[in-house]
Amino acid sequence: MLDIEFIRNNPDVIRANNAKRGVEVDVNRLLELDVKRRELITLVEEKQALQNQTSDLIATETDSDKRANLIDSMKSLKAEIQGIHEQLEPIKTEWLSLQRQMPNLADESVPEGESEVDNVVVKTWGEKPEFDFEIKDHVQLMTALDMVDFERGTKVHGFRGYFLKNDGARLNWALWNFARDFYSKHGFQEFLAPAIVREQYFYATGHLPTEADDLYQTQDGDYLSGTAEVPMMAYYSDEILDLETLPFKALAFSPCYRREAGSHSKDTKGLIRVHEFNKLEQLIICENSQEASVALHEEINSLFEAFIEQLGLPYQRLNICFGDLSKSKVKQFDVEAWVPSQRQYRELSSASYFHDFQTRRFNIRYRTADGEIKFAHSLNNTAIATPRILVSLVENFQQTDGSIAIPEVLVPYFGKSHIS
């Protein structure tokens, strides 16, 4: 959520940003409501001050007639205040609704564009493997090596169901443990985060209302989270942090759930697009500084790139354009790993920063060195998502005989150098 004072002072900047994002929000209406809202709030405060004065007079007045008149005056003031509140409530509701629809102000380095086809490749790394045999996709490889069972997964879960088993499960655990050791060296505190989270926090992160069709809801009205970003942002909600505790860097593990709504015909086989998975998420709360946000954004993205470089996976980094950038984000990098059977790169992570867009909704603040209270900034990025990363890993490291070589860095965690 943007600072309303910034919107008041920079309406043309807001309109230009909305236009580049392809988002239609009535800025004029928001500002009109803001004027009315402030006028009514001021009027309420004036009436309440008068009410307090009258209350003091009643307490000290000894003349019964004058006291009765003051009491009548109090009743009239109470009715007036109630009437103003009745005018104010629908104005506040519409004002807040429009403010929540307002997208974040994108960074000037975000490329212009209308959709994902306009995202810009800013980095490539690694040599795509050349095979002198007919390659297999990850479904064929992992099924043949008894690493996964899709048939029984579908029987138990339904569409997009799967069981990881034997070396498939062990490889998954090896990746988690390697990731824990890798990221913990960079100052991240480790968390096991809840997956069932209150509805209000999905609105606060921006996942609701836009992703309502993609979320699983419980009977109690809570939701199953598709990322540890949601519970970890809620961790410090309604709190004032000490400057010395920033940046707060969390490495949070959680089960994740997504309906994959709107993608019924996409990636129907295999492990790229599944309903339930596990993820380690990097999340940072930092001071209210553009320089800090930019530096930390580069850091968390570079950490993920260093992580998959150690695994030896070829990848590319995308700078996400206006049209593909979520409303809550200032800037986003996606890292995509090479999938040989598809002859294309597929997304493994999204590194994003938000300024104070999320923290205003969560009411996460900190006290500066001079005692000022400010809203913090927030950032997040994938540390590792499984089983999706297995797709690229097993396909890039497949061997002529159908076995899979294990990246050297994973051997101590996995216990052997090949799956055969």
Q: Which tens digit of pLDDT belongs to each residue from 1-49?
A: 899 999 999 999 999 999 999 999 999 999 999 999 999 999 999 999 9
Fold of 116-419: BirA Bifunctional Protein; domain 2 (3.30.930)
Q: Which residues of 163-174 are buried (b: 16+ CB within 10 A; e: fewer)?
A: bbeebbebbbeb
**What is the overall mean pLDDT for the chain?**
95
pLDDT of residue 265: 65
Nearest to 284 by CA among 340, 324, 221, 228: 228
Decide if 4-101 and 116-419 have a common fold: no
pLDDT of residue 61: 78
Domain ranges of the chain: 4-101, 116-419
pLDDT of residue 65: 79
Q: How confident is the model at residue 232 (pLDDT cuts 50, 70, 90)?
A: very high
- Inter-residue contact 350 to 381 (CB < 8 Å): yes
Q: What residues contact 129, with CB distance under 8 A and at least 6 apart?
A: 314, 340, 396
pLDDT of residue 400: 97
Per-residue CA distances from 202 to 211, 262, 349, 353 (Å)? 9, 20, 20, 17
Cα(279)–Cα(350) distance, integer angstroms:
13
pLDDT of residue 58: 85
To the nearest whole percent, how much of the chain has pLDDT over 70? 99
Which class in CATH covers the domain with range 4-101? mainly alpha
Nearest to 167 by CA among 149, 147, 141, 152: 147
Cα(312)–Cα(199) distance, integer angstroms:
39
Per-residue CA distances from 326 to 23, 266, 341 (Å)? 11, 21, 30
pLDDT of residue 264: 66
Catalytic residues: 258, 273, 347, 350, 388
What are the beta bridge partners of residue 316? 124, 336
State how far Cα 114 lies from the chain centre. Answer: 21
Higher pLDDT, 70 or 197: 197
Q: How confident is the model at residue 69 (pLDDT cuts 50, 70, 90)?
A: confident
pLDDT one-digit tens code per residue, 381-391:
999 999 999 99
262 has a pLDDT exceeding 80:
no
